[in-house]
Structure formats: structure tokens, C-alpha cells
Structure 1
Amino acid sequence: MAWSLRNIRRYPVVAATVLVGVIGLLLWAGGWAAGVQWLFSGFALVVAAVQAVGMVKDIMRGHWGLDILAVTAIVATVLVGEYVAGLVIVLMLSGGEALEDYANRRAKRELDALLTRSPQRAHRVDGDRIVEVDVAMVAVGDVLLVRPSEIVPVDGELVSAETALDESSITGESVPVEKIAGDEVMSGSVNGQLAVEIRATATAEASQYQRIVVLVRQAAESKAPVVRLADRYAVPFTLFSLALAGLAWLLSGDPVRFAEVLVLATPCPLLIAAPVAFIGGMSRAARNGVVVKGGGVLEQLARARTVVFDKTGTLTKGSPTLVEVRTEPGFDENELLGMVASAEQYSSHVLATSLIAAAHERGILLSEAGWARESATNGVVARIGGREVVVGKFAFVAQHAPNAARTGIESGQLAIYVAVDGRFAGALLASDRVRDNAASTIDRLGALGVRNTMMLTGDAQATADHIATELGITRVRAECLPADKVAEIAAIGERPVIMVGDGVNDAPVLAAADVGIAMGAKGSTAASESADAVIMLDDISRTVRAVSIGQDTMRIALQSIWLGIVLSVALMIVAAFGLIPATAGAAIQELVDLATILNALRAIGQRRDIARFTRVDRPEAVTAAVG
């Protein structure tokens, strides 16, 4: 009962139309046929008048829509005495809105799931007690208990020995991910069958899942370009329908033919197909780890011809890794790396983590410093094992070791110099490695029609050229300031242009591009907010998914629109010969609406995702399945 009342309130015109129909049947059964005609005709004209008011307002704003056909069809059926057909058209229009609402709810399932599953409570470990707190009260460093099958409330690192997490709602990965102590865990993932403890590394507001929720809410509230897409066909379809209906009337001399043709020209397929397809495409993108902030973004992605990449953190990993240790006489490689990594424990530089990780990989035990101090942008000085260790730029190290000498490096590399007790000890060479899937991403974008590639970076020209050559990027602009990047984007002729970046300095150019895509997993909030789409994983290949989903969505939207047009035109031609009565035509048009909705729902595309993206992104899974 509650469900019925809720739907009556949600769709009052549908409910009123059904009620009028039932009353009409009772009047007809009682022998009052004239009353039925007056009831049906009056109700249909009232609905037509309401629709006409909105139509006139739209026309005054310069927007010529498809509702003129619906209003004309209702009025025509009433004037020629086909009052039953008039009521059926009203039911079709109001029912079409209900069907659209149902389809939208079905298509937004993944978007809504993100919002409704947002963690609300957390179990904080306070000594020997477990205290349940609001997730907003969790602070960085808090130890939290996550029970079996619970959602991880905030980003953190695993304290317990091991667990398995379902990250499907975040990454789209259907296989549980094994984690061991020290591994990062993302908020929004679902814990396995073991209760575990995690240490919070971010507040709820700054956590991965909450960032996704905010972006998804923006996407859900944005309006797809339904009107623009449908109205491309509105005027010619309206003129054709009115001309065909007028010709049928002229040749037959029967005004009923005019109504019979227009009944089958009602615009529901055009009005419903586009929004359902776009919302389905947005839902599909969210399920694949890409939050798209509006249907217009999907349309631009579908037509994109140029892609521009930032370098650091986008095409490269953004964290240089150690490639070589060059020592001076009297120093051993592992000895030098151990001293450097021990000193870097007290540095905030981006290289510190990489050097410490390299030492751990070699099984080198790090030492605590007797004292340490960091010189911002230059390096760090620390007392390690009774020896003074200086690590940093050449000029900084040379101040402590006059015999320091520059070492030769290849393009794309950088050197970290070391002095021990006032004596030059050697240099460590690091390189920011290109992402493993960067080259394949560019190739696959080219296969989708995005063949013009460009790199914009603030890095040195030699380093940028080296990366571009390795990846096959055709155009490079290095040593760019943010304003330079915006100017370069504006000068590109092959549009629409996609810009992919991750840093704060990328925010202006992401906003300036036709489609700005931010690497949101580790990128800046500013970049995510200014972008049109956000990749919520540290995976550049999701750019390919975004373009592919945009193309699929546009194709399905246009297919659905043309399906409605072709079916309607064919039926109108048949009706022009008097072979389809007005009442039957109204009922048949409802089936056309249903066919277009079902076709548009294909934009959700779950089966295609499994078949296509598993095959492309995880070839080892396919190999295992075949084996």
C-alpha cells in the first residue's frame, strides 16, 4: 500500500489518467456514452493546455522542442472525435515520464550505491576498549577495528598481519585483494572474513571514498545534454510529421487521418532515449573507476581527436626510483646506500621514500640518527653511526666536501650527491620511470580515433623529449608554466581536446581543455575539482575506458533515437493510408517507447565491460581461463 501511495504521489498525472479511464468505463457500462466523451475530451484538453504553457515558455526562450507534436496530437484527436485515443496519448506521455524515471533509477544504480554505502560509524581502539564513534571524528593515527564484511571507514594502513579486501566499488576489480601488514587500505572497500585493525592515514573528509562520493554527487546532479541531442532532430521530425499528417488529410479528405498520423508521431522516443543512455553511461563510467561530471563530458569524449598529457605523475610514476649507486674509492655500494637511506628518514623530499625503499629491497638495515637537520630544497645532514652524512644537490654537498665532482647522467635521470665526514663519497642516480601501461594507453587511444598526442610539462626539454620518444608522442612543449599550458591548449586545432593531469599546476589547463581528466587517486584536490572527469585509481589506462564508454554511450543514444524515428515514421506512413486507427496507434506508440528505453539501457554496459576490459586490461586472466 505504501509503495502504491508513493508512486501515486510521484506520478500524479498517470494516476489521474488511470482514474479518469476507470470512471469512463463505469459511465460507458451505465449507458452514458456522451458523458464518457466529455470526460475524456475535457481531461485530455486540460493536460494539453498545461503542456502548451510549458511549450510556449520554451519557444519564447528560443527553444523549439518536440512537445509541440504531443500537444497537436491530443488536440487533433479530440477535435475529430477520437477521444479515447486522446486519453491514450495522455497516458502515453505521462507513462513515458514514469518509464523514464524507472530507467533512470535502474541506470543510476552504481552511482546511488556509492552514496548510500558511505561509511557512517567507526570502531576506534582506545586502550583495551573499542569505542564506536562517528566517522567524522576519526583522526589521523587512530587505530580502528574493522569487523568482518564491514566497510573500511577511512584511508589507512593495515596493522594486522593480513586480510582480503573487496575493492570492487572503488576500483571495479571483482577479485578480492590480499593485503599484509603495512599495506594501504582504501576507505569504501569491504573487509573479508577476519576482523582487522588499521591505522588511519587520513580523515573521513580527505579519504578516497568520501572524495568519490562528493564527485559522484556532482555528477548525479549535473544535467546531461538531453535537450541539445534530442533537439537536433526535433524541428525536422516535427515538420515531417505535420507535413505527412496534412498530406494524408488532403489526399483522403478525412481529418481523422491527420489525427491518426500524429498519434504515431508523439516524441517520447526522442525525449526518453537520450537521458537514459547518458545516465547509463555515467553509471558505467563510475563502475569503471571514472567519475564523469555530466553527460556533456561523455559527448565530448566520444568526439575527441587530441589528447594532451602532463608528464610527472601522469605518464610517469611521479616517484623516481634508484637505478645506480656510483661510489668513490673506499666506499661500498650497500654501505653508501644504507647511510643515505638512514639520513633520508629525516627528510620530507619526494626522493626520500624511494631511497629508503631501495635500501629495504636490498635488505639493508637502517640506523637511527644521532641528530639530523634538513635544508629545504637542498638536502639533509645527519649523524649516522658517528659519521656526518650529507645528501642532496651537488652545490649543497660541495659546500661540505670540496673534492665533490659532478657525475654524468643520461636523459631522464637525476643525481643525488653524498659526502661522508667532509669527503665526497659518490652519487646515487634515480629516474622517474614511465608507467608500464602508458605506451599501450596511447596506442589504444589512437585506435579509438584520438590520434593527435601532445605532452605539456614544466620539466627540462631533454627529459621531456626522452619520455616523448619512448612513448611515441608527436608533440612536446617543455619548461611550461601553467599559463603556457593553457595557451598551448587554446592553440590546438584538432578538437575536442582531452587533457590528462594530476597536479595543482594542472588545474587551470584541465579547466581550459574541452575535457579535463584528473588522476584523482594521488592527484591534488584542485585538479579533481577543475576537471570534467576524475580517474579514481592510479591507472592512466582508465582514460581509454572513459573514451570508449563515451563513444559507446553516444552510439547507443543515437541508435535509440533513430530506432524511435524509423519505427514512428514507418507507422505514420501506414497510418496515412488509414490502416491504423487512432486508438490502436496510440497503444502501438507505447511499444515504440518501450523499445527505445530498453535499447538505451544498453549504455549501462556491464557485460561489455567484462568482455572488453578484462580482455584488454588483464590478459593474464584470459590466459588462465583458457588454460
Structure 2
Amino acid sequence: METPTPEGRLSKLREFWTNRQMVIIACVALAGIAVHLILCYVIHSGSPSYQIPLWVVLVFGGIPLVYELLKKLAKREFGSDLLAGISIVTAAVLGEYLAGALVVLMLSGGEALESYAVRSASSVLRALAQRIPSIGHRSQGGQVVDVSLSEVAVGDTLVIFPHDICPVDGVVTEGRGVMDESFLTGEPFQMSKTPGSEVISGAINGEFALTIRATRPAADSRYAKIMQVMRSAEQNRPRMRRLGDSLGAFYTPLAVLIALGAWGVSGQSSRFLAVLVVATPCPLLIAIPVAIIGAISLCARRGIIIKNPVVLETIATCRTAIFDKTGTLTYGRPRLTDQIVVSGADAVHILGLVASLERYSKHPLASAILKSATEAGVTLQEVAEISEPPGQGILGTVAGHTVRIASRGALAKFPVAGSDQIPSHAGGLECFVVIDDRYAAAYRFRDEPRTEGVSFIKHLNSRHGFKRLLIVSGDRESEVRYLAEQIGISEIYAQKTPEEKVTIVRAETAKARTLYVGDGINDAPALMSSTVGVAIGQNSDITTESAGVVIMDSSLEKVDEFMHISRRMRRIVLQSAIGGMVLSVVGMALASGGLLSPVAGAVCQEVIDVFAVFNALRAAIRPKELSDFGDATT
């Protein structure tokens, strides 16, 4: 693990204090307002003491906030929060302490909510770092010695104890067992391991100890590479302007200009104060957070966890949808559909030889073959030796026969008798069996698309405005293309590593805002690099930490529900914010003409706030329909 620099520690400490300060200010404001209301309406205090809690809020909460907003003003940043700062000062000058305290509460609460989204991104790195061990068990001179990962060199012999996490990439030299590689591959399979099998860092060992030979130092392991990509993805996370800031960018200067104009024309400073009181952007500061929190609550009740509230504001603007394949558009359970054997061969005998060898393969198709062998009642036999060189398939000796299982491309590299009997390509996944250097059989597999996949993909353009749909997958091109044809997607990227996925997602995000949907740890960097990342299911803690949205059920229908909830929330927010601003502008015009005093302006603004907030509360209410494709239920 990297040691943070003094500058990095200072930056993190400063960020921690700023986030904590916002929470403290929000709590002080809430407590002060509550005490004020109790003194005023429960105890019926007639002395000025009932104002003291509000003075405390304005001093200890308002002054720090106004100071921060003055720094923004110096940088020429004109957001809705800047007008809130002016409103705090104006409320204090006018003696409208309750209104000022409410603005303090809304401003600090919004900052605290936004800081939570930033902290959730950094927790991805912590989750990754916690999974990798800090030491390795190196075997030397007949003894096992614990050493730090930085001391592990290529060629070192390491022992992986039961249930340990593999610290480096390597090759098994002794022992037999299984490893869970789902955290890295995204495939929910237990991979059998025997001498000659490859192991990858981050995989979880099973019940039996394995001895491996390190093939890469820890810094160059697959797991370390993913961590590097994750850091880069976090640093290059898209910067998004909040909706309130976008609206406030023109509303704030407009309000200040109207106030100054009223003062300049009339010569009365009270009109300047009256306009600013009416202009207090509570529809932006209150209605928007209320609508967002309501939408988050509705999503949670539907099994959709919103980890970054910004996604609710931005998903409606996404125009490119990028999907992982396995486990996202498919169920992630490939099955053996066809066994095409040469004339006169025994299909059951061949399946027995293949399944015996595939027990030790890390390829996801191995599970499909083993399942078919189990269903056929085939007895597996012992494998004498095994090797699986990259790109050459798997080779081993089973019951005295040399058995090779390889892809079409890999098979062309070796002299194979009877190769003229190999069937033509039919799409989807396939592998070929060679026994004693003679072609014996072709196996075809299908990872079936989700039942709702076709209707979901078909409606994305017409109902949600997506212009481009892509599949970016680590699987073979033939299988990816087969699925794409089945569900109606024309653009595909196959056989891509996590690093390559990030490059593609960044390039697409530079052209238009992107939605990325995936389910494995290998999707985590891409999820962070997209505008909106949606993780389906709960297979990986790291994936769900890196996504802005987590769909608890493995369902595309829930993705559609999220988009509908977001679109409805955005519509409600615009109604509340723009409607409130329009009414505020009318009020400002009346105040500038002397028709509204500062006190009457404050009352007018409160009425506008009530309407805006009540409208925003609708975001938490479940509408009649939440999905609009296929046979989706509501």
C-alpha cells in the first residue's frame, strides 16, 4: 500500500474538517430553530430571549458560511448559494432571524449531502486495499516465512493457505483445489486448480492449501493494475454542475441587479433589502434537496440504492448507454446446447474426457460442461498432467488419452487430423475437442439474454432519449456479437480488459454523457469513469461502492424504474425551482416599486417556499407507473 505524503494527509485532514464542519453547522441550526420555536410557541416567552438561539445560529453557522461564500464571490462564482449568503446577511440586518437560520440550515445541509457523495468515491480505494493481503507466505529452505508483498519476486514459491486471498499472480506447482475468482472476473464460478493452473491475485482460495510460483511481482499483478485504473478513474471522475447552481448562475446576478436598481432609482435602502428578502432562493435551497431526498427514499423502497445523489439530476441528460454483457444483459450462466461429435464417436465418452479435464480450467465454460456431465451421469476420471498456456486452450492426459480443448483460432495453430470435419461458425461461444491429435467434437454454448432485455433495449431510444447503445465486454467477439444481434445492439467492443473498458468509456463520455451498467469488479473502474454508473446485483462490494446507483435485484426493469424516478424528480424540481423563481421575480418587481416592505417581502417569500416545498414532496410518492417497456410490472 502507498504511504500518503504530508501534503496528502493535510489535504485529507482539511477535507475531513470541512465535511464535519458542515454537519456541525446543520445540527446547530436545527437545534437553534427547534429551541426558538419551543420558546416562542410552547413556553410563550415574551422577552427577547426567544431570539437568542437564532442569534447563536447566525453567529456560529452564518458567519463561517458567509465567509466561504465571499471567497466564491472573489473567484466570480455566482451560484444559488451565493445569493443565500447575501440573504443571511440581509435577514440579520432586517431582524428576520428565523429566515436567516433556515437559510443556514438548508445551505449547510446541502453541503453535507454533497460531501457524502465525494467520500463514497474514495471508499472504493479503501475497499480494494482492504482485500489484498499485506504479506505473502514464502517457502524457502523447507520453511514458510511471512514476507511483505514488496519482497516477493518473480520465481518465488508461495503457499496459499485455505481461505487466504492470493497475493500475486502465479502458477500452481503443488496441490489441488478451487479458487473463487468472481471478484476479479465477474463470473460467478469456482475455478478448479491443479499443478500447471494459473492463479490471479485477489482470488480467494478454497479448502485446501496450494503452492504457487510467482509469475509477476505484486506491483504488476492483475489486482494492482485494477487498483491503478481505479485511482485514475477517481481522479478523472466527470465534473458535474448541480441543477441548483445552474439555475442560480443567472438568478443570482438578476436578483442583485434588480435590488441595486431599486435602490438606485428610489434612493431607499429599504427597497434593496426588500428585494433581496423576496429573492432568497429557498425554492432552490429547500425544494431541490427535498425532491432529491424524496426520490432517494422512493428508490430505496424499490430496491434501488442511490449512493451519489448527483445521478438523479444527470441520468436524464445521458445520451450513450454502455453495457457489460455477462450478468448484465445475460444471466451469466452459459449452458452447453450442442455436442457435435465426429461420425462413429461416443458422445458420452468424449464428454467424460472433456469434463475430467475441464475441472481444472479457469474458463467459465468449464462449469457448463461439468453441469452437462453431471446431468448425463458421467464418471470423471483422474488427470495425469495439465497445462493451459495463454491462447492455446487446455491440454492434459486423461485415461491414457491426450486431450486438448481449444477455440477455433487456437486450434489452427496445431496439426490436427480430421480438421476438415470442423463445422462452420454458428455464432455464440464454442470450443473444440481434439483427442490424440485427432478432431473429435465441437461444443456450442449459449449465455441466454435476459427475458426483458430485448424490450428494455428497444425502448431506450424512444422513451429515454439514448442515441447510442454499446456493449463493452471481456468475452469473445463471437459471443458478444451473438448477444448483440439477439437484443438489438449494433455497436460492440469484445475481449476488453478493465483498462481498455475505461479508455472506451472515457472516450464516449467526452462526446456525450454516458450511462454504464455492469455487475463485476472488472466493471468498477468503468463505472467510475462514466457519467452515471449503475451496478446490478450485490456480487461485489467494490463494484457497488464505485457505482452511483446499486440495483439490489439483478433486473433491467429496476434500471428503467430508476430512470423514470429520476425523470419525474427532475420535472418536479424544475416545477418547484423555476416556478418559485418566477414568483420571486414578480415579488422582486413589486418590492422594487415600493409595493412590498421588507417584512411583507419575507412573508411573500415564505408563501412561495411553502408551495415549492409541497410540490417537491411529491417526489417521494410512488406514481401509478414506474416502467414502460415489455411486460414490466408497476
Report TM bin, short chain.
0.5 to 0.7
Are 2:554 and 1:538 aligned?
yes
Question: Which sits farther off after the overlay, 399-408 or 447-456?
Answer: 399-408
TM-superposed deviation, 1:308: 2.4
For 2:73, the equivalent position in structure 1 comes to: 59
Counterpart selection for 1:569 from 560, 572, 585: 585
TM-superposed deviation, 1:353: 1.7
**Structure 2 CA distance for aligned equivalents of residues 398 and 263 of structure 1:** 79
Counterpart selection for 1:306 from 320, 323, 337: 320
Within 5 Å, which residues of 2 pair with 1:41-60? Answer: 52-60=66-74
Are 2:82 and 1:70 aligned?
no
For residues 532-565 of structure 1, the C-alpha deviation after alignment (integer angstroms, 9 at most, x for no partner) is 4444443345443443343333333222211321
For 2:32, the equivalent position in structure 1 comes to: 13
Counterpart selection for 1:554 from 559, 565, 570: 570
For residues 229-259 of structure 1, the C-alpha deviation after alignment (integer angstroms, 9 at most, x for no partner) is 3233335434443454556567777654544
1:430 is paired with a residue whose SS is strand
Are 2:374 and 1:355 aligned?
no
Within 5 Å, which residues of 2 pair with 1:71-150? Answer: 71=88, 73-74=90-91, 77=94, 83=95, 86-90=96-100, 92-93=102-103
Code of the residue aligned with 1:433 in structure 2: it is E
Are 2:378 and 1:375 aligned?
no
Within 5 Å, which residues of 2 pair with 1:390-539? Answer: 390=403, 392-393=405-406, 407-418=422-433, 425-447=440-462, 448-457=464-473, 461=477, 463-478=479-494, 480=496, 484-492=500-508, 494-503=511-520, 505-519=522-536, 521-522=538-539, 528=544, 530-539=546-555
For residues 183-214 of structure 1, the C-alpha deviation after alignment (integer angstroms, 9 at most, x for no partner) is 99xxxxxxxxxxxxxxxx999xxxxxxxxxxx
TM-superposed deviation, 1:305: 0.9
In structure 2, the CA distance between the partners of 1:423 and 1:95, relative to structure 1 (3 Å rule), is closer
Q: TM-score, normalised by structure 2?
A: 0.61
**Structure 1 CA distance for aligned equivalents of residues 326 and 42 of structure 2:** 70
In structure 2, the CA distance between the partners of 1:88 and 1:404, relative to structure 1 (3 Å rule), is closer
Counterpart selection for 1:241 from 255, 258, 261: 255
Contact 1:344–1:380 (Cα < 8 Å) also in 2: no
TM-superposed deviation, 1:496: 0.8
Within 5 Å, which residues of 2 pair with 1:576-595? Answer: 580=596, 582-595=598-611
For 1:320, the equivalent position in structure 2 comes to: 334
For 1:274, the equivalent position in structure 2 comes to: 288
Contact 2:88–2:103 (Cα < 8 Å) also in 1: no
Counterpart selection for 2:377 from 348, 351, 365: 365
For residues 157-194 of structure 1, the C-alpha deviation after alignment (integer angstroms, 9 at most, x for no partner) is xxxxxxxxxxxxxxxxxxxxxxxxxx99xxxxxxxxxx
2:465 is paired with a residue whose SS is coil
Contact 2:262–2:592 (Cα < 8 Å) also in 1: yes
**Structure 2 CA distance for aligned equivalents of residues 229 and 570 of structure 1:** 22
**Structure 2 CA distance for aligned equivalents of residues 319 and 60 of structure 1:** 58
1:611 is paired with a residue whose SS is coil
TM-superposed deviation, 1:287: 4.5
For 1:159, the equivalent position in structure 2 comes to: none
In structure 2, the CA distance between the partners of 1:396 and 1:93, relative to structure 1 (3 Å rule), is closer
**Structure 2 CA distance for aligned equivalents of residues 95 and 527 of structure 1:** 34
2:321 is paired with a residue whose SS is strand
1:500 is paired with a residue whose SS is strand
Contact 1:498–1:516 (Cα < 8 Å) also in 2: yes
**Structure 2 CA distance for aligned equivalents of residues 24 and 298 of structure 1:** 42
In structure 2, the CA distance between the partners of 1:418 and 1:295, relative to structure 1 (3 Å rule), is same
Contact 2:303–2:553 (Cα < 8 Å) also in 1: yes
Contact 1:325–1:427 (Cα < 8 Å) also in 2: yes
1:436 is paired with a residue whose SS is coil
**Structure 2 CA distance for aligned equivalents of residues 40 and 364 of structure 1:** 78
2:376 is paired with a residue whose SS is coil
Contact 1:40–1:87 (Cα < 8 Å) also in 2: no
Code of the residue aligned with 2:620 in structure 1: it is I
Instruction: Could you tell me which runs of 5 or more consecutive residues in structure 2 were left unpaired when the two chains were aligned.
Output: 1-25, 121-161, 165-187, 190-204, 208-236
**Structure 1 CA distance for aligned equivalents of residues 525 and 56 of structure 2:** 54
In structure 2, the CA distance between the partners of 1:400 and 1:567, relative to structure 1 (3 Å rule), is same
**Structure 2 CA distance for aligned equivalents of residues 315 and 15 of structure 1:** 50
In structure 2, the CA distance between the partners of 1:533 and 1:425, relative to structure 1 (3 Å rule), is same
For residues 441-472 of structure 1, the C-alpha deviation after alignment (integer angstroms, 9 at most, x for no partner) is 32222120012123334555555444434333
**Structure 1 CA distance for aligned equivalents of residues 54 and 101 of structure 2:** 13
For 2:230, the equivalent position in structure 1 comes to: none
Contact 1:13–1:94 (Cα < 8 Å) also in 2: no
Contact 1:264–1:586 (Cα < 8 Å) also in 2: yes
Code of the residue aligned with 2:529 in structure 1: it is A
Count matched residues: 488
Contact 2:33–2:54 (Cα < 8 Å) also in 1: no
Q: State the percentage of identical aligned residues.
A: 30
1:453 is paired with a residue whose SS is strand
Code of the residue aligned with 1:435 in structure 2: it is R
For 2:211, the equivalent position in structure 1 comes to: none
**Structure 2 CA distance for aligned equivalents of residues 225 and 307 of structure 1:** 19
**Structure 2 CA distance for aligned equivalents of residues 244 and 545 of structure 1:** 42
In structure 2, the CA distance between the partners of 1:289 and 1:375, relative to structure 1 (3 Å rule), is farther
2:564 is paired with a residue whose SS is helix
**Structure 2 CA distance for aligned equivalents of residues 520 and 460 of structure 1:** 23
**Structure 2 CA distance for aligned equivalents of residues 341 and 76 of structure 1:** 82
For 2:22, the equivalent position in structure 1 comes to: none
2:337 is paired with a residue whose SS is strand
For residues 298-335 of structure 1, the C-alpha deviation after alignment (integer angstroms, 9 at most, x for no partner) is 33322111122344444444443212122334445456
Code of the residue aligned with 1:565 in structure 2: it is M
1:73 is paired with a residue whose SS is helix
Contact 2:561–2:626 (Cα < 8 Å) also in 1: no
Contact 1:308–1:499 (Cα < 8 Å) also in 2: yes
TM-superposed deviation, 1:9: 5.9
Q: TM-score, normalised by structure 1?
A: 0.61
